Amino acid sequence: MSDDDLTMPEDALLDDLADEPTDEPLIDETPDPTPDDDAPVVPAQVSAVIRTFVPYLIAGLVWLLARVGFDIELPAGTDVFLTTLIGTLYYMLARQLEKRWPQVPWLGSTRQPLYTAPARLTGVSTLASTGYVWWRGGKFSAGFRDSLEDVDKEVPGFILTQGGFNGTSVSASAGTHAGDAADFSVRGKTLAQVTAFILAQRKRGNFASFRTTSVAKWGVRAQGFSSYHIHVVPNGWAMASLAARRQIAYIVNGVKRGYRYGRDGLSSNGPDVGPGHSSAYRLRTWPGYLATKTAGLPASGSIGTIPRTYHPKPWPAIAEDGKLGPATLRRLQMQLSVATTGKLDHYTIRAMKVWLGLPDDYVGILYPSAIRALQKRTGAYVDGIWQPTATTVSPTTRALQRYLNGHR
């Protein structure tokens, strides 16, 4: 599916999703590696510090206990050397023990940080270059975050256990979390609460599904996941990975799979049944949901109208170095009549699409269609690919800078 098709009628979008090439493995062949619901959600950076510190804390304690009752003179530096050696050996042992008993915090935290670059997606390059945001410890495109946040206002209290843009190293997710995706814990939640949460997600254009362990629950068959949780991906919009999009609609050898065909999105292709698993919203997207709201989108807030800030001319000249740094972004924001944050944020992207003659779809993502429109406007080579970063030299950015300097 091309990103241009995200503006197609929903029945055409369904056909296009189903016609994805079939030369890649099916999505979700194995359960998502949802963190243990019993464990608190620890940010990756904090977890990394804990897992590094704990082995040497243990080593220090072991060395102190080993010397109790002994008055031995040791060469200078011996304490440091032996403590480091013991800590390193313990760390190596703990990593092996984690493979056997992953639920035990051998290193002080069971969350292993992922040291992988964000997944590369068509038309954009990195998390920082596209205005993605952090929400409750997870990474999301601004539009998908908006939909999750809107659900949270209606059905609060669900804890995020896994976000999106985790690269492809989370093998058990089979790529579904390489783009926009989220998992939520159901620990302590009632059937009524889970039903309301899933239904609210579907109403806002997301595919939300209750996932089970090896034991069936609430009318959902046993699926073999490590914990009961709710899996959420955008329903044919936002920046979902190919694997997640195949959970929406996919045809293999004439067999229809995915949410829009009434299936659960797993490789076993079970029925889409469970708490809140309504079929009424299978063609709903977040922009479609916003369009159904009759009045009163908030004047501020990312799901509302674009707040405008007008900047009197003359506007400053900028360097034509091909790098999309804060100075270029502030100058672009003057052109777009939005706040000069110096960042390629949600409102800047939406305002840019309107400036380029595209509809405001309430989604802060630059799809290739918008990039091609930008390239046409500024006289750049039209290929729908742009790397808008402060460190990468881009011909499209240079053409934009040249255009802005010519329209001061």
pTM: 0.48
Other CB atoms within 10 Å distance of the CB of residue 324 = 25
pLDDT in tens, 253-284: 888 889 999 999 998 899 999 999 998 888 88
Helix (H) or strand (E) holding 233: strand 229-234
Of 290, 306, 339, which one is at a domain's C-terminal end? 290
**Confidence tier at 112 by pLDDT (50, 70, 90):** low
Question: 205 with 264, same domain?
Answer: yes
119-136 b/e (C-beta count within 10 Å ≥ 16 → b): bebebbbbbebbbbbebb
Range of the structural domain that residue 252 is part of: 3-37+116-290
How long is the chain? 408
Indicate if the pLDDT at residue 169 is higher than 60. Answer: no
Q: Is residue 302 part of a domain?
A: no
Please check whether residues 161 and 63 belong to one and the same domain. Answer: no
- Whether residues 25 and 170 share a domain: the answer is yes
Return d(Cα 289, Cα 299) in angstroms, integer.
18
Confidence of residue 100 (pLDDT cuts 50, 70, 90): confident
Omega cis (within 30) before 234: no
Mean pLDDT calculated for residue range 343-368 = 80
Same-domain pairing of 206 and 165: yes
Token pair 């004047």 in the structure block, residue: 299
Residues 359-397 have pLDDT tens digits of 877 666 677 788 889 999 999 998 888 877 778 788 999
Rounded Cα distance between 187 and 219, Å, is 17
Close Cβ partners of 341 (under 8 Å, ≥ 6 residues apart) = 329, 330, 333, 348
CB 386 within 8 Å of CB 352: no
For the ranges 184-193, 248-257, 398-407, which has the lowest average pLDDT? 248-257
Q: Are 193 and 166 contacting, i.e. CB atoms less than 8 angstroms apart?
A: no
Q: How do 255-257 and 250-252 pair as beta strands?
A: antiparallel
Mark whether 197 and 69 lie in a shared domain: no
Residue 270 domain-assigned (yes or no): yes
What pLDDT band is residue 69 in, cutting at 50, 70 and 90? low
Task: Specify the 3-state DSSP secondary structure of 16.
Answer: helix
pLDDT for the residue numbered 128: 38
Residue 298 tokens read as 């908030």
User: Do 87 and 214 have their domain in common?
Assistant: no
Shared domain check, 397 and 271: no
> What average pLDDT does the chain have?
76
39 φ/ψ angles, rounded to the nearest 5 degrees: -95, 145
Give percent above pLDDT 90 in the chain. Answer: 29
Domain total in the chain: 3
